[in-house]
Amino acid sequence: MTEQIYKGLAGVVADHTAVSKVNPESNSLLYRGYPVQELAAALSFEEVALLLWNGELPSSAEKQEFLDFERSHRALDPRVRSAIDLLPLDCHPMDVGRTAVSVLGANHPLSEDSSPEAELTKAKELFAVFPAVVAYDQRRRRGLELVEPRQDLDYSQNFLWMTFGEEAPEEVVDAFRVSMVLYAEHSFNASTFTARVVTSTLADLHSAVTAAIGALKGPLHGGANEAVMHTFEEIGIDPAETREDAAARAKAWMEQALAEKRKVMGFGHRVYKSGDSRVPTMKQALDAMVEYYGRGELMGLYDGLESAMGEAKNILPNLDYPAGPTYHLMGFDTEMFTPLFIAARITGWTAHIAEQRANNALIRPLSAYNGPDERHL
């Protein structure tokens, strides 16, 4: 008997979810029913997090309660800081993020309490503290001291404050907020599915998030935003170049890459085949950053690659494509881009963990054996 194999689980509907809906036909993405573009235009990341966890937008009292909670849970636990300090400066920052979540779990008094209330508390704490992990790691790699969080700043402002040690301009804060909202959730992607698989074994929330971070690290998933910047670097970034010249060089580079059958990160998607719903909103944020920093040549590289890929293969950019250069312009090192994705996706992962727990079935597919026939010693 030959079993039907769904390689990469492509096309397999594994379960229901009420967290988000990806519709490739209409290129739309809804978080709890709301189009992500509307959320990105109007809401803070904190409000979007509450929507993902609770299923509804918060009342003003609920929002205030969460803002107070979030602001009081931002500081890096000294045990986490010590664990980070044990990690070499040349390890990947995703290893730091993964280790930090694991250490937080090992020290958490509610680690083994999987009641909905305890799970939500742990999710909110992770949301609040993860920026400190990213910011501290970015700073230590530059030989800089930790910057303490500030309670008078919102999530995005404080994230940038802790990273760069100065208040970010409004334009930058807004582009950062938009990126967090767009990265927050995307149904059964590889890392979310990983979190659900781990949860399905009844393991704890921090184990599920740690595993999800491992899945996110790969360049076919979250690591693509870094890889986009490596592509730009490989082509060569020269702020003095004109936009047109940069575009022409990028086009030539892409033609060569495709002739060599290279996969170019930041393009293509398993679900969207005619455009990623999040790209136009993220592209607007990138445009704002390009204008703010006066770096038209980066847009030249961006446009050149996109048009050459479109002409040659009709493959369109995904969210990582505009997100990579946006984070670059803000001043983050390239390797920090995927940890920024973690900070955002903690919301979606933990919403899915709660959903999985509420209606659990162990996730355990079958395999079709194709090894040697039975044999004996």
Closest separation between CB of residue 264 and ligand COA, Å? Answer: 4
Instruction: Spell out the alpha helix ranges (H) of the chain.
Output: 36-42, 45-54, 60-71, 78-85, 93-106, 116-141, 155-164, 170-183, 190-200, 205-217, 224-235, 243-259, 279-293, 296-313, 320-330, 337-358
**Catalytic pick among 221, 276, 328, 352:** 221
Q: Side chain identity at 268, as an amino acid letter?
A: G
Of the listed 108, 269, 328, 352, which one is catalytic? 269
* Least distance to ligand COA, CB of residue 154, Å: 27
Identity of the residue, 264 or 299, whose beta carbon is nearer to ligand COA in the bound complex: 264
CB of 349 to ligand COA, least distance (A): 16
Is position 224 an interface residue for ligand COA (rule: CB under 6 A)?
Answer: yes
Is 376 among the residues known to form the active site? no
Q: Which of 350, 21, 54 is nearest to 195 (CA)?
A: 350
What angle, rounded to 10 degrees, do the helices at 337-358 and 224-235 form? 160
* Residue 140, both tokens: 């230590």
Q: Is 268 among the residues that bind ligand COA (CB under 6 A)?
A: yes
With contacts defined by CB under 6 A, name the span among 40-48, 76-84, 262-270, 365-373 that binds ligand COA.
262-270
Q: Which is nearer to ligand COA, 63 or 270 (CB)?
A: 270
Q: In angstroms, what is the minimal distance from the CB of 262 to ligand COA?
A: 7
The one among 71, 98, 269, 328 contacting ligand COA by CB under 6 A: 269
Which residue is it, tokens 């590289």?
301
The residue from 160, 215, 264, 299 that contacts ligand COA (CB under 6 A) is: 264
Site string for ligand COA, 182-221 (x = CB under 6 A): --------------------------------------xx
| Binding residue (CB under 6 A) for ligand COA from 93, 105, 131, 266 | 266
DSSP β-ladder status, 34-35 and 28-31: antiparallel
C-alpha 348, offset from chain centre: 10
Out of 103, 265, 282, 316, point to the residue binding ligand COA (CB under 6 A). 265
Kindly state the number of chain residues that form the binding site for ligand COA, as judged by CB under 6 A: 17
Q: Output 157 or 338, the one with its CB closest to ligand COA.
A: 338
Distance, CA of 371 to CA of 376 (rounded, Å): 14
Radius of gyration of the chain (CA): 21
Tell whether the torsion through CA atoms of 335, 283, 55 and 46 is positive or negative.
positive
Which residues does residue 30 pair with via DSSP β-bridges, in sequence order?
21, 35
The nearest distance, CB 350 to ligand COA, in angstroms, is 20
Which residues 6+ apart lie within 8 Å of 271 measured at CB?
22, 24, 187
Q: Which two tokens stand for residue 233?
A: 């670097």
According to the binding rule CB under 6 A, does residue 318 interact with ligand COA?
A: yes
Select 260 or 373, whichever has its Cβ closest to ligand COA: 260
Residue 322 binding ligand COA, by CB under 6 A: no
Contact region for ligand COA (CB under 6 A) — 46-54, 236-244, 263-271, 337-345?
Answer: 263-271
Selected binder of ligand COA within 21, 263, 274, 311 (CB under 6 A): 263
Distance in angstroms between the alpha carbons of the first and the last residue of the chain: 27
User: Do 17 and 345 touch, CB atoms closer than 8 A?
Assistant: no
Q: Measure the CA–CA gap between 90 and 93, rounded to whole angstroms.
A: 8
User: Is 320 known to be catalytic?
Assistant: yes
Segment contacting ligand COA by CB under 6 A, of 105-113, 156-164, 261-269, 352-360: 261-269
Residues annotated catalytic, as ranges = 221, 269, 320
The residues that touch ligand COA, with contacts defined as CB under 6 A, are 8, 220-221, 224, 263-270, 313, 315, 318-320
